[in-house]
């Protein structure tokens, strides 16, 4: 039982998020610190590229975390902090791409595809209702005989009549 | 069936061809072995150099480097380097070539480097930089949008950033991009 508890504790410790923020970086003001943590999670570490600066141990990520906190202490709004970094590193520094003409395809593309698909489906169904398919001509006597032969005789492959 | 409908139906046969064409272009771009998917475009292109003033490397003679030095009407190469950066060592000979042979004005920003290590490095490999600023905190690097070393910028006569190379300079970049651009900007 004790071994099980221990194993579970080790497993649970592995699930806890990696703690990249060093004690020295944390602000005294808990509200500002909370804002800094939230902001840091929305900002990309340019070195690791798929990690936010809050959880990254990269040197640049640490510099950026400190910079974010400095700007918050100086009275910047969250938007101003982001704008400061976007001016230097581009929109790529933000995990959520901003809405602007260059990203319209990204934001509206999926909805547009759904609309196109739905439109095509509606047009197709409407056309099918307007001109229902012509029923196929009934089988001729010869075809009917051949069909029966095929259905009754499943084991031997059909020999070509020609 | 009207003629319009017939033409419309004929055109529909072209849709797979168009889709194939779009995919082919996209894959040709995406699978190009020369494309670095990690490379980030710089937003500093065509912007004036950010304001900064850096002291020289501690223990070295020289005036340091500031934004004003890049607005003196001369095309300048600005190179971020550090002794701990391996690709910096690899590109160093090209920087020396540019400074000595091409007589390009080359300034350096020593990024987050211990002064004694930077001094040793320059003494050993040669110092191609006309001026060097020591960015010990990395703050000036952030203002330039630097995210890894080495990075090299070309500044035009008006003090605007015209080109940024993130990563090592190689012979190809030197001959096909850097030299032609410096020539063009110097005219």
Is there a contact between B143 and A88 if contact means CB atoms under 8 Å apart?
A: yes
Residues A39 and A93 grouped into a single domain: yes
CA B63, CA A77: separation in Å to the nearest integer? 37
**Host domain of residue A19:** 12-97
Indicate the length of chain B as a whole number: 187
pLDDT of residue A6: 63
Instruction: Please report, for the domain that includes residue A56, its CATH number.
Output: 1.10.8.640
Domain annotation covers residue A136: no
CA B184, CA B172: separation in Å to the nearest integer? 17
Please state the domain count of chain A: 2
Is there a contact between A89 and B112 if contact means CB atoms under 8 Å apart?
A: no
Residues A21 and A93 grouped into a single domain: yes
pLDDT of residue A99: 87
Inter-chain Cβ pairs, chain A and chain B, closer than 8 A: 37
Residue A86: closest CA among chain B residues belongs to which residue?
B43
Q: Is B142 on the interface with A (CB under 8 A)?
A: yes
End-to-end CA distance of chain B: 65
pLDDT of residue A37: 92
This model of the complex carries an ipTM of 0.78
Q: From the first residue on, what is the mean pLDDT of each consecutive set of 10 residues in chain B (187 residues)?
A: 70 90 92 78 87 92 90 93 94 93 93 94 93 93 92 93 92 92 91
Is there a contact between A64 and B42 if contact means CB atoms under 8 Å apart?
A: no
Residues A103 and A92 grouped into a single domain: no
Across chain A, mean pLDDT equals: 84
Distances (CA, A) of A119 to A8, A104, A108, B12: 53, 21, 16, 16
Model confidence at A17: pLDDT above 60: no
Domain annotation covers residue A77: yes
pLDDT band at A29 (very low <50, low <70, confident <90, very high): confident
Domain annotation covers residue A109: yes
Is there a contact between B43 and A89 if contact means CB atoms under 8 Å apart?
A: yes
Beta bridge mates, B107: B78, B131
Classify residue B31 by its DSSP letter: T
Residues A126 and A63 grouped into a single domain: no
Residues A28 and A90 grouped into a single domain: yes
| CA nearest to B151, candidates B99, B101, B109 | B109
pLDDT of residue A7: 67
Instruction: Answer whether B126's CB lies under 8 Å from B88's CB.
Output: no
Is there a contact between A63 and B138 if contact means CB atoms under 8 Å apart?
A: yes
Domain annotation covers residue A81: yes
Instruction: Answer whether A61's CB lies under 8 Å from A39's CB.
Output: no
pLDDT band at A94 (very low <50, low <70, confident <90, very high): very high
Instruction: Answer whether B82's CB lies under 8 Å from B111's CB.
Output: yes
Of B40, B41, B147, the CB nearest to A60: B147
B38 compared with A55, residue with greater pLDDT:
A55
CATH architecture, range B53-186: 3-Layer(aba) Sandwich (3.40)
Domain annotation covers residue A137: no
């Amino acid at each position: 039982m004790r071994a099980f508890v221990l194993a579970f504790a080790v497993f649970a410790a592995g699930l806890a998020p990696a703690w990249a923020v060093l004690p020295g970086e944390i602000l005294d003001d808990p509200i500002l610190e909370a804002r800094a943590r939230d902001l840091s999670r929305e900002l990309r570490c340019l070195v690791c590229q798929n990690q936010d600066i809050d959880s990254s141990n990269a040197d640049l990520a640490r510099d950026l975390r400190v910079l974010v906190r400095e700007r918050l202490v100086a009275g910047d709004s969250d938007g101003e902090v982001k704008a400061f970094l976007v001016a230097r590193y581009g929109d790529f520094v933000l995990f959520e791409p901003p809405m602007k003409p260059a990203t319209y395809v990204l934001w509206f593309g999926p909805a547009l595809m759904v609309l196109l698909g739905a439109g095509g489906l509606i047009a197709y169904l409407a056309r099918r209702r307007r001109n229902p398919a012509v029923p196929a001509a009934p089988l001729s006597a010869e075809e009917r005989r051949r069909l029966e032969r095929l259905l009754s005789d499943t084991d031997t492959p059909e020999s070509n009549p020609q | 069936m009207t003629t319009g409908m017939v033409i419309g139906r004929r055109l529909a046969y072209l849709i797979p061809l168009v889709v194939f064409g779009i995919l082919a272009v996209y894959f040709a771009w995406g699978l190009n072995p020369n494309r670095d998917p990690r490379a980030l475009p710089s937003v500093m292109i065509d912007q004036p150099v950010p304001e900064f003033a850096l002291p020289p490397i501690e223990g070295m003679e020289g005036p340091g480097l500031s934004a004003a030095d890049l607005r003196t009407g001369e095309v300048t190469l600005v190179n971020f380097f550090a002794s701990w950066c391996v690709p910096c060592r690899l590109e160093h000979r090209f920087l020396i070539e540019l400074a000595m042979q091409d007589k390009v004005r080359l300034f350096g920003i020593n990024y987050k480097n211990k002064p004694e290590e930077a001094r040793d490095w320059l003494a050993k490999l040669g110092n191609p930089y006309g001026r060097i600023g020591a960015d010990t905190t990395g703050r000036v690097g952030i203002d330039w949008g630097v995210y890894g070393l080495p990075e090299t910028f070309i500044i035009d006569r008006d003090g605007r950033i015209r080109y940024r190379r993130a990563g090592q300079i190689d012979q190809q970049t030197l001959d096909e991009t850097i030299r032609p651009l410096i020539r063009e900007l110097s005219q």
